[in-house]
A and B are shown apart, each in its own frame.
Chain A
Amino acid sequence: MRRNWIGGTFGWLWLVVVLLPLYFVLITSLKSISTYFGSNPVLPSLPLAVENVTAVLEADFTQYLLNSVLVAVGTVVPLVLMAFMASYSIVRGTRRVFGPVRSLFLLGLAIPVQATIVPIYLMIIRMHMYDSLVALMIPAIAFGLPLSILIISNSLRDVPRELFEAMDIDGSTEWQKMWRLAFPIVRPALVTVAVYQALMSWNGFLFPLILTQSPDKRTLPLALWSFQGEYATNVPVVMAAVVLSSIPIVILYAFGRRYLVSGMTAGSGK
């Protein structure tokens, strides 16, 4: 087969486009402020300025990291559990009742989350949860449910009916069938949902922006944003913060790439 020159050229060109900014962040994060002003911006320079990392850590970075982890875990765990249980009912329950339930959840995929910020803000205030980490979990769970249920119920549908019937003969309850049979089988789908929603939570910006106020309630993206305001003159330190805030996600990607990819594309394909 002849070579695909056009595709190949664009393919490698795009790789440069993708990697150049990432490379720039990395090398800049390791420059001291004086080398930043003096050296060529696209070339690395020695000595490596480890003090940037120290500066970031001293600027309450660990607090923001902890907040981000707490919000991600507090979102993903209830979200996966609720979505799994609902998916079980949607797939195993009577169509007459759970068909419309499924449609209702799928309709949720069409809601632009941004459009709900005013009512969400109002509800969070009235529930006296403004400026708390719980406030960030609530909308993330609610708007994460539709896609999660779509992914999990697609996977549950592939479980052979005979397995459930076999457990019926043993006199198992629905609860037992759900946890002992369905749960282990759809575990990959649950991991997909968990990994994807963790990423969404980790990178979320809008809800932290409108639902929190105190510096000690900031999650990482919001902290980065205020950080660049405070350290406007010290770009290497800001870049170090960008790098540090991305490390957990890159680790997640390294171990769960397959799950992340299928989570991302699940909303678009079947």
Chain B
Amino acid sequence: MTALSPATPQLAVTGAEAEAAPVQRAPSAADSRRPRGERVHISHVLFALPALAFFAIFALLPLLGVVVLSFTSWNGIGAIQFTGLTSWAETLTRSTTWQGLGLVLIMIVATWLLQTPLSILLGTFLAGQQRYRNVLAVLYFLPLLLSSAAIAITFKSLLDPNFGLATGLDMPLLKQNWLGDPVLVWGVLLFIIAWQFIPFHTLIYQGAVSQIPQSMYEAAQIDGAGRVRQFFSITLPQLKYTLITSSTLMVVGALTYFDIIFVLTQGGPGVATRILPLDMYLTGFRGNEMGVASALAVMLVVIGLGLALGVQRLGGKDASASQMEGA
């Protein structure tokens, strides 16, 4: 399992930036005349061409397209009209935009606070040597196999007040209008999303913890450090880069949750769970306002990039240094 255990994990994106730097430096004349026997093979260009063309047309072009479309008005069927800042003006003045944005921020913070400590704990636990923990790791992984639609449908019936868990376990406390109450529904969402994604982050942390040299723990034991002390003085500091990676994925992921909320609540009750990506879909494909939906999409991209860079920056300069070394 080579890819599983990053000693110095890196987000590939920032790795790319590190890589790009030397390329951008203007080569001296001698360099470009004789690039150390490196010729441009026409066959290499041909091999890369299908992927490059496909990627440019169906990934990069849509990314540009969404910016262009945010300056238009389009109902999804008729002609697309350039209307300047009209869609943007509408986007920024409607209350659902700000509501959706606020909910996305709540989602990001709550998801992180809930999932990070649990994932570290479970990852550290799974990294132990005992054989049975491998079996646990296999079972933990199961939620990652299911589609969000399947998960949402499952929990919907599990939470049914009359024929679900509340009746089965005879616990009246669980007998709530889970999806009809604007506060409870958030508890449900956060729980289901944690159920779905904690296994993934646990996996990352497990890989990282098992990379920590055993000798560090042995030294700590000689110094008389207990289990808890070892965790806070060795394990946690050693997980710093993994924490950055996992947090970036978590935060950017939380920005784009769609399937589960769409199937579970459709944004309801009312607009209680209409987070930004869902608002974008509903506005564009149900409300037929593709211009506004595009403006919302641009916001998503910008916030996503900003958050990713922000988390990396929080991690400090060491992160990029270790990436260089690992590249």
Report B268-320 residues with CB < 8 Å from chain A CB. Answer: 277, 280-281, 284-285, 290, 293-294, 297-298, 300-301, 304-305, 308
Which of A88, A93, A120 makes the CB contact (< 8 A) with B62?
A120
Which of A7, A206, A228 makes the CB contact (< 8 A) with B121?
A7
A151 to B4, CA, bound (A): 12
Contacts of B200 in A (CB 8 A): 264
A262 to B47, CA, bound (A): 26
Q: Is the CB of B149 within 8 A of A10?
A: no
A115 to B121, CA, bound (A): 33
**Given the known A-B contacts A93-B41, A192-B3, are A41 and B167 also in contact in the complex, defined by CB atoms under 8 Å?**
yes
Count class of interface residues, chain A: 35 or more
Report A4-18 residues with CB < 8 Å from chain B CB. Answer: 4, 6-8, 10-11, 14-15, 17-18
Q: Is the CB of A115 within 8 A of B48?
A: no
Q: How many positions in chain B have a CB within 8 Å of any CB in the partner chain?
A: 124
Report B102-141 residues with CB < 8 Å from chain A CB. Answer: 118, 121-122, 124-126, 128, 133, 136, 138-141
Q: Is chain B's binding surface mostly helix, strand, loop or mixed?
A: helix
Q: Is the CB of B122 within 8 A of A14?
A: yes
Contacts of B184 in A (CB 8 A): none
Chain B proximity mask over A193-207: 1 for CB below 8 Å, otherwise 0: 000000100111110
Report B141-156 residues with CB < 8 Å from chain A CB. Answer: 141-151, 153-156
Known A-B contacts: A85-B51, A203-B146. Give 15 more (CB < 8 A).
A7-B125, A10-B118, A103-B20, A104-B55, A111-B59, A112-B301, A116-B59, A139-B58, A141-B54, A235-B160, A261-B141, A265-B204, A268-B6, A268-B204, A269-B207
Residues of chain B touching chain A, judged by Cβ–Cβ distance below 8 Å, are 1-6, 8-13, 15-17, 19-20, 22-23, 27, 35, 38-41, 43-45, 47-48, 50-52, 54-55, 57-63, 65-66, 69, 74, 76, 80, 118, 121-122, 124-126, 128, 133, 136, 138-151, 153-158, 160, 163-165, 167-169, 195, 198-200, 203-204, 207-208, 221, 226-228, 242, 245-246, 249, 252, 255-256, 258-259, 262-263, 277, 280-281, 284-285, 290, 293-294, 297-298, 300-301, 304-305, 308, 326-327
